[in-house]
Chain A
Amino acid sequence: MSNEAVLHAPAGAGLHHEAHGDHHHEHHHETFISKYVFSMDHKMIAKQFLITGMVWAVLGGLMSVLFRLQLGYPEATFPFLEDLLGKWAEGGKITPEAYYALVTTHGTVLVFFVLTAGLSGTFANFLIPLQIGARDMASPFMNMLSYWFFFAASIVMLSSMFVEFGPFSGGWTAYPPLSALASASPGSGTGMDLWLIAMALFVVSSLLGGLNYIATVLNMRTKGMSMTRLPLTIWALFFTAVLGVLSFPVLFSGFILLIFDRNFGTSFYLSDIFINGVGALPNEGGSAILYQHLFWFLGHPEVYIILLPAMGMVSEILSVNSRKPIFGYMAMVGSLFAIAILAFLVWAHHMFVTGLNPFLGSVFVLLTLLIAVPSAIKVFNWLTTLWRGNIRFTPGMLFSIGFVSLFISGGLTGIWLGNSALDIHLHDTYFVIAHFHIVMGVASMFGMFAGIYHWFPKMYGRYMNNTLSYLHFWITLGGAYMIFWPMHYQGLAGMPRRYYDYSVWESFKQFAELNRFISTVAMIVFAAQLLFLFNFFYSVFKGRKVTSQNPYNANTLEWTTPINPGHGNWVGEIPEVHRWAYDYGKDGKEFISQTTPVGADESSH
């Protein structure tokens, strides 16, 4: 669909008449409900995703602080915990039930609700139309539904925390039979039903969003915006959406079978089970491993669904603030593509110790370690982008540099874990926790912070406070390393994940002091995130106002819109694009916007 056609479609109707008014809220159709609640403006939906994601990030982060209290101070009691959690922390000590529920919900919420919905939901919505030159998404209505399905998923997930036997507590991967049998774990009762409903709603949300992002990127680019002129953010968000659309349905099918096993007496995943206190179950012939295949067929692409948007934004921010083109644009696109393809071919590396056929395992080793090649290309290209640049340390830039550092640190340990013979030793130990928290959790979080700081002026027409941002960055970077780096050593001692208490283990109890250290740092880092939140919300209302249309002197199209763009983004015609997004420092010019026609005497690259 061309932009002209969109202009005449109902959602864009009336935009032509607005050529002389900057502020769209004068639009006579708009009410509070249609502007802030059931909004179809991609920018508002992005903010809805962002703020919902922030709420979940605080809850998920708080959960980690609570279970870190148990790990760091297994002997201590904290009376305030009883006030907060009631019977789940009788006498001020978190019970194992509550501990496992916290661990599980922390994982689910951060992977799906924060780093999937909060990250790609926010930035795909916000940046795709603005950077490709479109008035809105291909289907603003579907886009709105996408958010509200996410909201519904959030409500259901939240409600699962208040049921009698607690929320689901079998780990975020929800492996059956544990997740299928309420008799094996109390959290696998009503809590698990709600968990599954929440996740099903989440899958719907993510598919509605993803299809929309793909359709928008493919069909709604402005005149002159060929695919190879797209900023890398858009390429990354595009591949993310493709990954999600192809893999979430597989997860969904896995969940459907689980729902059948739980409620309708089927035996897809269940076989040969005797539960203490219940006796032998009638189910025979199922395979518990089948679920793991279905789960990780999403589960692994999910890692890249989380990581790719961060990579895209970091590429853009590094280039803008180095005042230099991104190095190797085509290689960056190619490596994103390679990662997206490989993401589908490596899922069984999560299953090396399940009794997988060794030959199959060896294929997955090869494909897994192959991912290191495109990842290496990306890292070296980022480093070369900094080389001989003129770097401005905006908060967004700091977080981007932090992202690269964390991506290197966490990515390299992937080479350990991807090699099955080493994985046998390190699987399900703290080494794995360190690996994926650094490379996926914290790195993507850094990508998200980078995006928020960088595009905040575009989102709200105001600046965030720089001093607070710098503090936030340095505390978080140092803290993240202090929390997760020592965990490699715990992993090298074979210390297993998901233990409530290590004090009875002769092999693992030597880390009591370290656990206390990690817990303390975790609390400080969590407090620093509150600093960020305060900065964010304060600046939304009281921040310094943006006075220039293009505060970073950046090339991309979002900086050609008004400071506070209305629904439809551009006043009048959508600008035409004449070049790629990375002409920084070319021919002695500081920057050349994508909308500037190519001059006759301009050098080519």
Chain B
Amino acid sequence: MTALLITAVSLLIFVVIFQISKASEYVAILKGEEHSRKQNNKINGFLMVAFLILGLIGVWYCNEVLYDKTLLPQGSASVEGERVDSMLWLTLAVTGFVFIGTQIVLFWFAFKYQENDNRKVYFFAHSNKLEAIWTVIPAIVLTVLVVIGLRNWFLFTGEPPKEAMVVEVTGKQFGWIFRYPGKDGAFGKKYYKNIDNASNSLGLIWDDQLAHDDLVMEQTMYLVKGRPVKLVIGSRDVIHDVGLSHFRMKMDAVPGIPTTMWFTPKYTTKEMKERTGNPDFQYEISCDQMCGNSHYSMKGVIEVLDQAEYDAKMAGQSPYYYSAFPDKDPANAKKDTVKLVAKPVEVASKLTAKL
């Protein structure tokens, strides 16, 4: 019923607009087309400058309403991300200046030089000097931006500091799997044909001793405040993307081709809850590359802890090897540790079964 009503009202508005437009055409012919054309020209000229003023107010108002909802007021949550923010502000200053300047010139000229019987147009076909100016100045400004950008780019894509911890992130439809190298500090080999959702979600090769102490978790990744972390990123099926907007970082997860990214978290999750004033705050991992029909729900969480909390957390984890081969677990008597590891995997497989 409402749909019908809305359609009817819209149709009515259409008809009214059309009739008015048609009528104005007849009036124009009666009054003399030249006369009414000039009148319309004046109206549009006025609207040009009105649009400029309203537009600039709109830009200001939009900023007023939305600025606090962006990530800019809270600043970057990673040390490297601060460079992104400072670059962003500089780029904003440059482009903002050009934006406001050129829009004012555009609409002001349109208004000022609207048709006038007394004006004689100025035949101005070219000027090498002017053209040289607006070739050279943008070129110089852009060079500055490129230099700053590339210095940051090489820092972001370069090698992380030596003390960095390493975590492997694997995307799959539709969730994330994290692997820590365990006590030996090295990842065991894996092969995708060994993947088995129930007991070997990453396809680890158990013949490789290095794999035996690897920790595998789903849903939440734990990081340490102030300690650089290098993520080794891969995918099990289609292309995903590890989007970490709070840390200002992002990298695709491509099947068959490992990628990396590194950063240094600045605040623990707890600190961010206070900083943002949001008790539900989470560092979320958003999948930023279209990966299927549940792309929008492919969420992971990063929990940044301080070193002591992190150590406690990790001490409670048992290697993935033991969940695949419970009989090999020396601590098998203490059932509860096994449960701790097995649980997230169970949840994950249920989830995938549902999908």
Contacts and interface: CB of A to CB of B under 8 A. Distances in A.
B124 A388 contact: yes
A80 interface: yes
Interface string B4-35: 00000010001001101110110011000000
A486 B94 CA distance: 20
Interface in A497-549: 497-502, 504-508, 510-511, 514, 527, 530-531, 534-535, 544
A481 interface: yes
Interface stretch (A54-62, A205-213, A411-419): A411-419
B198 interface: no
A387 B113 contact: yes
Interface string A235-251: 00000000000000000
Interface stretch (B284-292, B315-323, B329-337): B284-292
B187 interface: no
Interface residues of A, number: 130
A401 B99 contact: no
B110 A390 contact: no
A159 interface: no
B123 A401 contact: no
B105 A427 contact: no
Given A358-B153, A362-B153, A422-B88, A506 B95 contact: no
B91 interface: yes
A492 B84 contact: no
A498 B257 CA distance: 24
A405 B258 CA distance: 42
Interface stretch (B161-169, B204-212, B294-302, B306-314): B294-302
A553 interface: no
B61 to A, nearest CB: 10
Contacts, number: 379
Contacts of A401: 48, 106-107, 110
A387 B354 CA distance: 64
B55 to A, nearest CB: 7
A562 B184 CA distance: 86
A178 B259 contact: no
Given A376-B134, A422-B91, A355 B254 contact: yes
A419 B103 contact: no
B34 to A, nearest CB: 11
Contacts of A169: 293
Contacts of B230: none
Contacts of A325: 123-125
A386 B110 contact: yes
Interface of A: 78-80, 96-97, 100, 169-171, 175, 177-178, 181, 184-186, 270-276, 280, 284-289, 322-325, 327-331, 353-355, 358, 361-362, 365-366, 369-370, 372-373, 376-377, 379-381, 383-384, 386-393, 398, 401, 404-405, 408-409, 412-413, 415-416, 419-422, 424-425, 427-429, 465-468, 470-471, 474, 477-478, 481-482, 485-486, 489, 492-494, 496-502, 504-508, 510-511, 514, 527, 530-531, 534-535, 544, 582, 584-588, 605
